[in-house]
Amino acid sequence: MKKLLYTLAAVLVCMSAAAQNPTLYFMEGITLRSQMNPALAPQRGYFNIPVLGGIAVTAGGNTSLDNLLFRRDGKLVTMLSPSVSATDALSDLHSKNLINGDVRINLLGFGAYTSNRRNFWSFDLNLRTSISTQFPYELFHFFKTGESAEIRNMGMSSDAYAEAGFNYSFPIGEKVYIGARVKFLVGLVRAKAYFTQFNVSLGENEWYAEAVGELEVNSNLLTIPTKMEEGSDGVPRDYYQLDDMDFDAKFKPAGYGAAFDIGATYEPIPNLQVSAAVNDIGFIAWNKSGSAHGTVGRRLTFDGAQVDASGAADIDFDLGELQFEKVDEMSTTRMLHYTINLGAEYRLWNRRVGFGALYQIHKYDYAALHNLTASVNFQPVRWFGLSGSYSFIDNRASALGLALNLNPGWINFYVATDVLLTKKSAQWIPIKQGRMNLNLGIGIPMGKWGRRAESYRMVKRGDGSREKVYY
């Protein structure tokens, strides 16, 4: 269990990630805008520095690090430490404890305006990973107290894939922009372990667990050797074990798929823009070759739980030792985790200052997370932008974000995070926040400036109508 806790903590720290920081959504100068809404476009064409052109990392859920790690005598210890009481360890946990994360790395990216300086196209090659976990309260209660428990619906899933996407956005009239991105997907790794039942009880002489679950792996980068052992009926069978999973140096796609993003912007009145986008609508068909499929539906025994005088339990059981009986390999098709963005922004003082609001829905395997962000965006000159934001996350947490964009003409650099003001440990670990993210990118500006992103003012014509005059 300690291994599991440290793994979850590492996920929250290393993914301090939605691959989409809401603070960046209204920053006109960054290249990442079209990734969040294909109808949006940066102020200028670009060529991203490979790998460094766009890194987006996010972790979120209803569980933060201070639910798993505690400070005792100047050190960080897990909730299982004898120095942490059961009351302290369990009081802030939920009936379903969710941790989700995303990583997007832009391997190659470039885009430009067409001759009319309003239509925009781009191409991006990204590496993406995602993780979803769900652990019920009863699991933590058992490992902390050593008491029998009925555990239901516990699981962890992850996938990794590469995507190549072509995006194109264009105006319809003067007030509407439409954008769409078509993506070709190459599946690399998919793994899922899920238990509908995992009940632990004390028998006459030993502890046992009634486990009912399933293991699915699709990858040519992972190997899981089988072990032959006798089943409860005395018949030899092949079994998979989670601890035996290892990486293989071979690179071979494990599946293929397709997806699309679609978005739109609308300007009902001068300087007010409303926008909407749906991203990652698609699937990956994972191949039968390179797959591993196992099930468990039997009683598992282990030595037991030793409870010391402080009430802390030492559980002699490792989830990684669970064995899954091998069944026939299978191909499978899985949908991606989609994201919905709904935004509105009003610009003042020749578009130098903007006030925005963004509502996000991000679907994971076990839950959909909701996020509402209010932001203030400053762009006093073309080459400098600064945004601050405050987010309300799923009615459970909040975060203060800050983003900076520099575009002096020869380089475009942006960075954004929302962990600046949250409480941190001595190791600079944000322990109080239920969602964390970091975005940064470096690119080279290219081509002419787009007209839709330039500063403009409304000028009255002789016939009484008004038109945009760019400068």
Q: Which two tokens stand for residue 398?
A: 């909040």
Phi, psi dihedrals of residue 321, rounded to the nearest 5°:
-90, 0
pLDDT for res 2: 52
- pLDDT tens series, the chain, 471 aa: 555 555 555 554 444 434 457 888 998 888 888 899 999 999 889 999 999 999 988 877 777 666 777 777 777 777 777 788 888 888 888 888 888 888 899 999 999 999 999 999 999 999 999 888 888 998 888 878 878 888 888 888 889 999 999 999 999 988 999 999 999 999 998 988 888 988 887 666 677 778 888 888 888 887 777 777 766 666 777 877 777 777 776 678 999 999 999 999 999 998 999 999 999 999 999 998 878 888 887 777 765 555 554 445 555 566 666 778 888 877 789 999 999 999 999 999 888 899 999 999 988 888 888 889 999 999 988 889 999 998 887 655 677 889 999 988 889 999 998 765 555 555 445 555 556 778 899 999 998 888 875 545 555 666 777 766 543
Strands 207-219 and 291-302: antiparallel
User: Per CATH, is 2-470 categorized as 1.10.10?
Assistant: no
Q: Can you list the alpha helix ranges (DSSP code H) found in 215-318?
A: none
Phi, psi dihedrals of residue 35, rounded to the nearest 5°:
-70, -30
Q: What is the CB neighbour count within 10 angstroms for residue 92? A: 11
pLDDT for res 93: 85
Distance of CA 240 to the CA centre of its chain: 28
Domain locations in the chain? Answer: 2-470
Q: Which two tokens stand for residue 107?
A: 């391997």
pLDDT for res 329: 76
Q: What is the pTM of this model?
A: 0.84
- 374-382: long-range contacts (C-beta < 8 A, 24 or more apart)? 375/22, 375/23, 375/25, 375/26, 375/401, 377/26, 377/27, 377/345, 377/353, 378/352, 378/353, 379/27, 379/28, 379/29, 379/351, 379/352, 379/353, 379/354, 380/352, 382/29, 382/43, 382/407, 382/449, 382/455
The amino acid at 448 = K
Query: Rounded distance, CA 38 to CA 411, Å?
Result: 23
pLDDT for res 100: 82
Residues 43/84, Cβ–Cβ less than 8 Å: no
Task: Find the length of the chain.
Answer: 471
pLDDT for res 57: 84
pLDDT for res 420: 57
pLDDT for res 121: 96
